[in-house]
Amino acid sequence: MFVVQSPEVAVLLCFVTMLCWGSWANTQKLASKEWRFQLFYWDYSIGVLLLALVFAFTLGSMGSEGRTFLEDLGQASAAAIGWALLGGAVFNLANILLVAAIDIAGLAVAFPIGIGIALVEGVAVNYINDPAQVNAVLLALGVAGIVAAIVINALAYRRLPAQGERTAGKGIAVSIIAGVLMGLFYLLVVRSMPVEQDGVLVDAGRLYPYAAVAVFSAGLLASSFLWNGIVMRRPFVGPPVPFADYFRKGNARLHLIGVLGGMIWSVGMALNILASKCANPSVSYGLGQGATLIAACWGVFVWKEFKAAPRGTGKLLAAMFVSYLVGLALIIWARLGAA
């Protein structure tokens, strides 16, 4: 299988993850013009698993490094498979809430708040789990920059005149809950993978990256029947969504948009997990969740989500972008400077 051995390459893959994770939600914005996000989410879940399997049977089954995907899956312990499945289920609940927040509040708000919180929490728990080869001071300063960006973004959102207090509060609240849950899933997936103990790689019964991502993706799709089913029956906004609408209102274009969104996200997940060992999980997760910056750019400059905001809001948004960029730069420095 293909493996990453250079910290510089690992950081580059994390940047690709950032682009993927920050851009996939545009497919939801496109689809939401014609049908509810709950229906879009079924195709998204399918797309995530499809791309994970493509990676598993190509890059994960070629070369002389490690085991092939099927060999890896066959020797995996129940515990390793359980951790990856649980990671998929936890991520899925968080992501459904994030998609709901995007539907309520827009990309430029839901991502900076939800994923910003996930970034801070995820970096912290992954660093505690594996502090090797990371400058803790720089990492903490980078996280502080992200926290500042979250606060600034929330202040900018509250200035939008088109948002009633109830809707604004709901959008921020759902984003916060999504972020808290999102910060946990990565550690669960990492626990299913090989670890080093006293300088020796322990991989028996554990999943290599391609199998871990495939099992994670299966957990995501399976848990959609629970999480998405609940949100269809009890949506945050609007009437319940009948499952029959998936077949009655969907067409090939809408289904393809959803599948494409899932595949874009899954590319980012696969590359990020591949990079995690070389970059350190706390750094690879933190950089990947820099997707917030990309999503905010889409929301502000393409979807014009702040066009009705009063004078002075642009300065807040500029401050948010600067704070995010500084935070991400410090997170990168925390790893490369310690190499």
Task: Quick: pLDDT tens for 42-73.
Answer: 999 999 999 999 999 999 998 878 899 999 99
User: Does residue 166 surpass a pLDDT of 70?
Assistant: no
Out of 8-22, 166-180, 205-219, pick the least confident.
166-180
51 part of a folded domain: yes
Q: Is the dihedral of CA 152, 169, 160, 98 positive or negative?
A: positive
Between residues 338 and 17, the one the model is more confident about: 17
44 part of a folded domain: yes
Question: Which structure tokens are listed for 240?
Answer: 């319940």
109 part of a folded domain: yes
- Rounded Cα distance between 184 and 202, Å, is 23
Total tally of structural domains belonging to the chain: 1
Q: Fill in the DSSP letter of residue 311.
A: T
What's CA 40's distance to the chain center, in Å? 17
Domain residue limits at 233: 7-336
330 part of a folded domain: yes
Return the pLDDT at 196.
Answer: 81
1 part of a folded domain: no
Q: Which of 3, 29, 77 is nearest to 302 (CA)?
A: 29
Q: Looking up tokens 């029959």, which residue turns up?
A: 244
- DSSP alpha helices (H): ranges in 200-251? 209-233, 245-248
Q: What is the pLDDT of residues 175-190, one digit of tens each?
A: 899 999 999 999 999 9
166 part of a folded domain: yes
Q: What is the pLDDT of residues 121-154, one digit of tens each?
A: 988 888 898 887 889 999 899 989 988 888 888 7
- Rounded Cα distance between 4 and 276, Å, is 9
315, amino acid identity: K
Q: Which of 200, 189, 213, 52 is nearest to 126 (CA)?
A: 189
Which residues have CB under 8 Å from 322's CB, separation 6+? none
Task: Tell me the range of 7-16, 37-46, 156-165 where mean pLDDT is highest.
Answer: 37-46
In this prediction, residue 167 has a pLDDT band, given cuts at 50, 70 and 90, of low
Average pLDDT, the chain: 89
Confidence (pTM): 0.87
295 part of a folded domain: yes
Return the pLDDT at 331.
Answer: 84
Which residues have CB under 8 Å from 4's CB, separation 6+? 10, 13, 274, 275, 277, 278
2 part of a folded domain: no
Q: For the chain, give the percent of residues with pLDDT over 90.
A: 54
Bridge partners, residue 202, by sequence: 195
Q: Which of 266, 292, 335, 283 is nearest to 129 (CA)?
A: 283
